[in-house]
Amino acid sequence: MNPIVAYSLLLLAASPMDAARILGVFPIPSHSHQIVFFPIMKELANRGHEVVVITTDPVKEEIKNFKQIDVSYAYEIWNNIHNFTKIINETNKNPFKMMNKCMYMLNDIAIYILEHPEVHKLINDKNEHFDLLMLEFMLPTFLAFKHRFNCPMIGLTSMDSPYYGHMAVGNPVHAVIYPDSFLPFQTNKMNFFERLQSFISIQIAIIYNEVIGKPMEEKIVAKIFGSDYPSQTDLTNAIDMLFINVNYIFHTVRPLTPATVTIGPFIQMKPPKDLPKDLKLFLDEAKEGVIYFSLGSNVKSKYIPEETREVIMKSFAKLPYKILWKFESENLPGKPDNVKIVKWTPQRDVLSHKNIKLFISQCGLQSLEESLYNYVPILGLPFFGDQTGNAFKLESNGLGLFLDYNELTVEKFTFSINEIINNPKYKNKVKEMTNLIQDQPMSGLDRAVWWTEYVLRNKGAQHLKGPAANIPTYQYYYLDIISFFVFIILLLIFLSGFIIKKCFKLVSKKIKRD
């Protein structure tokens, strides 16, 4: 038997540990984020642990040992009070303005969740305790739960981690070798200006976080939890382990400390369910094939610029395929006859249908995973965040193409659609990459559960973090050593100049005497 497989089976066969109380905090109102975390929490409950989850997307099924605190009103803040799609449209050419607007929106969400009656009761009940905190590692305000319950903490991300997550566990952070996942760069082909952009973007993020982000977050923590809490920097660095939803086939390969566990991809995938009758009939009857079009749960098709929507509809009207479009309104004026609009679709099940030829997607990571899992090539229309970086990766890996929605034309759109559907190289590449991704000794879910119980058994995992986690930035980048050598060189230059000047004066005096 393969030793890796044998080791994996040994891990999975390990006897279950004593039941623990686990608090899961997943505050981002985005279905694509939540579906990554819930399989882990449900499996922990199935293994006998008592799980309490603060979530914007509570599941309807009854699960033993599983309690949910419903904070779904956060969607109202996200979609209507701040209108995230509108923020994207208004700030897509000004990343600093977008960063600022998103910061205020996320802080409003944090305040609402922390002031929710059930969450407030949880925080203030002196008899309440948890053995482990599992936290979406995107809103640092919620790190205060670790200090409140004095327990180990596992951070989770539904994509790659922000730079501060990698730094907290000692993973290498380098703007040129490992550019932020939000940037559309391929590390081994970055030109000077791309390297410069990557460097500047991460420095701006660090400065913004230090000057604006952390003070705002600490103010919220002081208001809700108390004024005697550690700084946001100390709370971030107190993480014991980091679960990131990446894999080494699709994402940039980065050396990771043992305190980092890759749980991707496909952690949310399940066998397909029967489709609703109207959807099944529509897909079954489309012998010419179907294009599925969805911009995910965060970007609303009804809010995209009108000129962009007109280009999309004119392009669809020219195609010989049926179009299934996730559109959030009952009506779409000017809708072509070959287009069916639906407010919601069971996306994983739709993509598994044999007649789906192409997925036009905003390129959220979970959408890409669901498409790849079902061998469906992708045309990307990214809007924000990691979507542009994901779209770049899918095109550079031959899994499809991507277009800038700000520069969309009927000619570009129809050409790209026909190119992907009619050229078999895209479908073949999707199959090849998906098979590579799935060739691993154990699933992401099995890894996540085993390492979660490892943290519980050992009361934390600080011993697995790399030494870089505790080294100041100036030491990590040799700035003190470089400064020392620069000082020595300058000193030698100065001394050499001084000596030469003295020698010159002596020689001059001697010449004058002679």
Nearest to 139 by CA among 120, 175, 164: 164
Short-list 286, 379, 298, CA closest to 324 = 286
Percent of the chain with pLDDT over 90: 57
Say what the pLDDT of residue 380 is: 94
Q: Which of the pair, 129 or 249, is modelled with greater confidence?
A: 129
CATH superfamily of domain region 277-438: Glycogen Phosphorylase B; (3.40.50.2000)
pLDDT at 8: 45
* pLDDT number for residue 16: 52
In contact, 379 and 359? CB cutoff 8 Å: yes
Q: By mean pLDDT, which of 349-363, 402-416, 469-483 is the weakest? A: 469-483
- 237 touches 469 (CB < 8 A): yes
What is the average pLDDT across 296-310?
Answer: 86
The pLDDT confidence band at residue 305, using thresholds 50, 70 and 90, is confident
Under DSSP, is residue 244 helix (H, G, I), strand (E, B) or coil? strand
More confident residue, 95 or 188: 95
What is the per-residue pLDDT for 417? 96
Which residue's entry shows tokens 């910061």? Answer: 103
- pLDDT at position 254: 85
52 sits in which H/E element: strand 50-55
Angle at CA of residue 78, ends 107 and 401, nearest 5°:
115
**d(Cα 403, Cα 362) in Å, to the nearest integer?**
10
Secondary structure element (H or E) that encloses residue 157, with its range: strand 153-157
Q: Does the structure show a pLDDT above 70 at 6?
A: no
CATH 1.10.1670.40 fits 17-267+443-470, yes or no: no
Q: Find the Cα–Cα–Cα–Cα dihedral 10, 14, 20, 26, rounded to 10°.
A: 20
CA distance 395 to 443: 26
State the average pLDDT over residues 96-120: 90
Return the CA Rg of the chain: 27
pLDDT at position 7:
43
With contact defined as beta carbons under 8 Å apart, do 295 and 363 qualify? no
Q: Place 17 in a pLDDT band, splitting at 50, 70 and 90.
A: low
Measured in whole angstroms, how far is the alpha carbon of residue 413 from the centre of its chain?
27
Given a cut of 50, whether residue 3 has pLDDT beyond it is: no
Distance CA 54, CA 73 (A): 12
pLDDT of residue 389: 87
Query: Tokens 């598994």 correspond to what residue?
Result: 352
Please check the confidence at residue 96 and state whether its pLDDT lies above 80: no
The predicted pLDDT at position 31 comes to 87
pLDDT value at residue 209: 87
Average pLDDT over residues 297-316: 88
What residues contact 461, with CB distance under 8 A and at least 6 apart? 152, 240, 241, 259, 454, 455
**Is the pLDDT confidence value at 190 over 90?**
no
Residue 142 has φ and ψ, to the nearest 5°, of: -75, -5
Q: What is the pLDDT of residue 510?
A: 73
Stated pTM of the model? 0.85
Please tell me what DSSP assigns to residue 378. Answer: E
Q: What is the pLDDT of residues 206-233, one digit of tens each?
A: 888 888 889 999 999 999 999 889 998 8
**Per-chain mean pLDDT for the chain:** 89
Cβ neighbours, 10 Å, residue 354: 10
3-state helix, strand, coil in the chain (%, to 5): 50, 10, 35
98 to each of 184, 207, 252, how far by Cα in Å? 18, 16, 26
Return phi, psi of residue 476, to 5°. -60, -40
pLDDT above 50: residue 12: no
- pLDDT recorded at residue 503: 87
Mean pLDDT of 31-48: 93
Q: How confident is the model at residue 5 (pLDDT cuts 50, 70, 90)?
A: very low
Which pLDDT score is estimated for 220? Answer: 93
Q: Which two tokens stand for residue 267?
A: 């952690």
Give dist(CA 25, CA 52) in Å, integer.
Answer: 9
The better pLDDT of the pair 70, 179 is held by 70
pLDDT band with cut points at 50, 70 and 90 for residue 451: very high
Q: How many CA atoms lie within 13 A of 162 on its CB side?
A: 15
pLDDT exceeds 90 at position 299 = no
Residue 514, pLDDT score: 64
The H-or-E segment that residue 361 falls in is: strand 356-361
Read off the pLDDT of each residue in 378-391 and give the average, rounded to a whole number.
Answer: 89
Confidence band, pLDDT 50/70/90 cuts, at residue 187? low
Cβ atoms 26, 53 nearer than 8 A: yes
- DSSP conformation class of 256: -
The CA distance from 340 to 334, in Å, is 12
The 10 Å Cβ neighbour count of residue 114 is 23
41 has a pLDDT exceeding 80: yes
pLDDT at residue 176 tops 60: yes
